């Protein structure tokens, strides 16, 4: 049981690290949004599942982890979409090697 | 198992420290907002892992608060960038 939880938490951390590397290395705000959203959502859900697996199902962790997972799944795409739209409307420059604007 | 929770909490904080570089460097305001939005999610996970490490379930409500209200900042800032008023 604890091995499964450790594997889940390590998986989530690896995806979160890849998201952070993407935010640091991508050349453009739109590409950074791409790197941020999916990796953050996919990095958070295994950590929440690992917490529930480690602590047991009939504990206070389950309900809270479920609420946080639903909030992440709903609010993260909304926030990223609003941010990308605002950046496009505010004419944030795109990557200069990106020809098709 | 407690060691795993503590190490994972410290790793999330290390990810936040790496994202602070983007907050400092980011050429536009949008880059900084993207980095701060990511940091808020990582801090939510760090608080959850800290609650599991310390075995204090009261901190789980702090994590719920962070997950609920951290997106408000992103949405309000993007409205401000889009329209020029709040």
Nearest to A9 by CA among A38, A71, A52: A52
- DSSP 8-state assignment for residue A99: -
B9 contacts chain A (CB < 8 A): no
B33:A83 CB<8 A: yes
A39 within some domain: yes
Of residues A93 and B64, more confidently modeled: B64
Nearest to A51 by CA among B39, B68, B17, B44: B44
**Residue A87: half-sphere exposure toward Cβ, Cα within 13 Å:** 24
Arithmetic mean of pLDDT over chain A: 88
Q: What pTM value is reported for the model?
A: 0.89
Q: Band of the pLDDT at A1, cuts 50, 70, 90?
A: low
Per-residue pLDDT tens for A21-68? Answer: 999 998 888 899 988 888 888 999 999 999 999 988 888 889 989 999
In the prediction, which pLDDT does B7 show?
Answer: 93
A72:B31 CB<8 A: no
A78 within some domain: yes
Number of domains in chain A: 1
pLDDT at A91 over 90: no
Average confidence (pLDDT) over A9-21: 93
What is each CA distance from B81 to A10, A35, A86, B76, B84, in whole angstroms?
Answer: 37, 21, 6, 9, 6
Which structural domain range is residue A48 located in? 2-89
> How many angstroms away from the CA of A25 is the closest CA of chain B?
9
| CA angle in degrees (0–180, nearest 5) for B76-B81-B83 | 90
Which structural domain range is residue B79 located in? 2-83
B19:A87 CB<8 A: no
A55: chain B residues, CB-CB within 8 Å: 52
Number of domains in chain B: 1
Q: Band of the pLDDT at A98, cuts 50, 70, 90?
A: low
Q: What is the mean pLDDT of each run of 10 residues along chain B (86 residues)?
A: 90 93 88 91 92 91 89 87 78
Report ipTM for this prediction. Answer: 0.87
A51: chain B residues, CB-CB within 8 Å: 48-49, 52
A95 within some domain: no
């Amino acid at each position: 049981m604890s091995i499964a939880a450790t594997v889940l938490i390590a998986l989530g951390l690896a995806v979160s690290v890849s998201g952070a590397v993407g935010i640091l290395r991508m050349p453009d705000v739109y590409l950074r949004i791409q790197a941020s959203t999916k990796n953050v959502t996919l990095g958070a859900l295994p950590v929440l599942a690992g917490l529930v697996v480690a602590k047991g199902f009939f504990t206070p962790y389950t309900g809270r982890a479920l609420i946080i997972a639903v909030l992440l799944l709903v609010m993260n795409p909304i926030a990223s979409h609003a941010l990308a739209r605002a950046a496009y409307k505010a004419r944030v420059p795109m990557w200069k090697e990106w020809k098709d604007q | 198992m407690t060691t795993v929770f503590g190490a994972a909490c410290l790793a999330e904080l290390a990810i936040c420290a790496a994202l602070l570089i983007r907050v400092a460097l980011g050429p536009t305001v949008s880059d900084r907002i993207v980095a701060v939005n990511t940091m808020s999610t990582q801090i939510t996970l760090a608080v959850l892992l800290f609650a599991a490490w310390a075995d204090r379930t009261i901190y789980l409500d702090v994590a719920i608060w962070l997950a609920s209200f951290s997106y408000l900042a992103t949405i309000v800032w993007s409205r401000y960038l889009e329209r020029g008023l709040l």
